[in-house]
Amino acid sequence: MKSILLFTLTLMLAFNLKAIPNEDLKANFVIGTPEISSIKAISFGPENILFIGDNTGMTLIAVDVKDKKRSSAKNLNMENLNSKLANAMGADKKDIKIQDMAVNPLSKNVFFAVSKQSGKKTYYSLFRLGEEGLKEYSLQEVSYSKMRIGNAPTEKHQTWNRPSRTYTVTDLHYANGELIISGLSNEEFSSGLRRVPFPFKDEMLTTSVQVYHVSHGKNETHAPIHRFLPVQLEKQWHVVAGYMCTPLVTFKLDQLDGNKKLIGKTVAEIGAGNTPTGIIAYTYKGQDFVLVGNNRHPLAKITGKDLFNAKAIKAPSRDRGVKRENVNLGSIAHISDFDENQILIVLRNKSKDAYHLKTVAKSEI
């Protein structure tokens, strides 16, 4: 962990993480075709800005998608979404993977990041699902900005023989003037949360968050964050993080200051053999909710108030911990908040070969 802190310090210049209000978010955007070697995670910020996490290129890209607002909820329920995406990429469904889904909060268009393996190449593509249907979203001649996130260990130290260390972006979200990124290393079971002020200024702050408490705070253990969400709980910015194997942990956002090991509050354990596939938050009928989508366990629904007031769990248990409802919608591959009344999920069928896009009414969750 300390080493990650060190890594942070090597990258970190003295900078102020506070958002600058009214700053023109697109002031440093240029028109062109961003060089992208992979698309792993996507997420929307304000003003039509789509953030793309490029793993192999170790780059963050912000694109102005210039969306037009849709006027209806057309095309939001789609059987065999993976087959349609595959066919558009000239492939069978088994050769593609839906890497991520993001809903543009302004236009309500749905974006998918998709990869295809063909011969020696892996192709990455973006699709936009609007009223006109499912269409490729080309990144040619777009308005964008980018920032390299680099991999500090190989920059600080010489690497001999071969560069084999990688950092895989697992999730990214914009909140309050900055982009927050979680990732996985292929050599350690750990990661930090990275905070990048936006508009990009080539500044980054990493806080070691891979440690959490279990069993009465007696044991400390470490694991990477797989999915997370910055969210306001009782008007304070928090990060709700779903770790691999399987705790749900909360931090206050301002605790991610890059200067110390941060041990979050373990509020729940979702269950064995499960991967959290997405966390969303919304306000419905005056009440705040946080939803954790899972691939092996039911969707967990928690009120913002309960999450804020949750006590650290004293012993691991699926039943104890923060008060929550289990909502069984099936195996969730991707989850997004859609609008005032609906969420959007990509469901995987039991034989794991078909993925269906589906809206679910918030009144039914």
Question: By CB under 8 A, which span of 152-160, 195-203, 285-293, 297-305 interacts with another protein?
Answer: 152-160
What are the CA-CA distances from residue 227 to residues 27, 142, 271, 326 (Å)? Answer: 30, 28, 15, 18
Distant-in-sequence, close-in-space partners of 348: CB < 8 Å, separation ≥ 6: 295, 330, 331, 332, 333, 354, 355
The Cα-based distances of 344 to 105, 112, 213, 336, 348 in angstroms read 12, 12, 33, 5, 13
Q: Which of 226/362 has CB closer to another protein?
A: 226
Site for another protein in 219-248 (CB under 8 A): 219-223, 226, 244-247
Q: How many angstroms separate the Cα of 49 from the Cα of each of 89, 105, 291? A: 25, 10, 24
Other C-beta atoms closer than 10 Å to the C-beta of 18 total: 11
Q: Which of residues 320-359 bind another protein (CB under 8 A)?
A: none
**Pairwise CA distance, residues 96 & 216, whole Å:** 44
Placement of tokens 């605790």 in the chain: 255
Q: Which two tokens stand for residue 83?
A: 């087959």
CB of 63 to another protein, least distance (A): 18
Q: Closest distance between another protein and the C-beta of residue 161, in Å?
A: 5
Encoded tokens for 33 = 């075709």
Options 63, 81, 89, 172; binder of another protein; rule CB under 8 A: 89
Residue at token pair 């956002």: 253
Q: Assess 3 for contact with another protein (CB under 8 A).
A: yes
Instruction: Pick one of 45, 53, 130, 153: the residue that binds another protein (CB under 8 A).
Output: 153
Question: With CB under 8 A as the contact rule, which of the stretches 122-130, 173-181, 231-239, 335-343 interacts with another protein?
Answer: 122-130
Specify the stretch interacting with another protein by CB under 8 A; choose among 24-32, 117-125, 231-239, 302-310: 117-125
Question: Binding mask 12-51 vs another protein (x if CB under 8 A, - otherwise)?
Answer: ----------------------------x-----------
Provide the minimum distance between the beta carbon of 223 and another protein in the complex, in angstroms, as a whole number: 6
Pick one of 236, 283, 309, 317: the residue that binds another protein (CB under 8 A). 317
Q: Of these, 77, 87, 236, 309, which contacts another protein (CB under 8 A)?
A: 87
Q: Which is nearer to another protein, 69 or 135 (CB)?
A: 135
Task: Return the number of other C-beta atoms located less than 10 Å from residue 56's C-beta.
Answer: 14
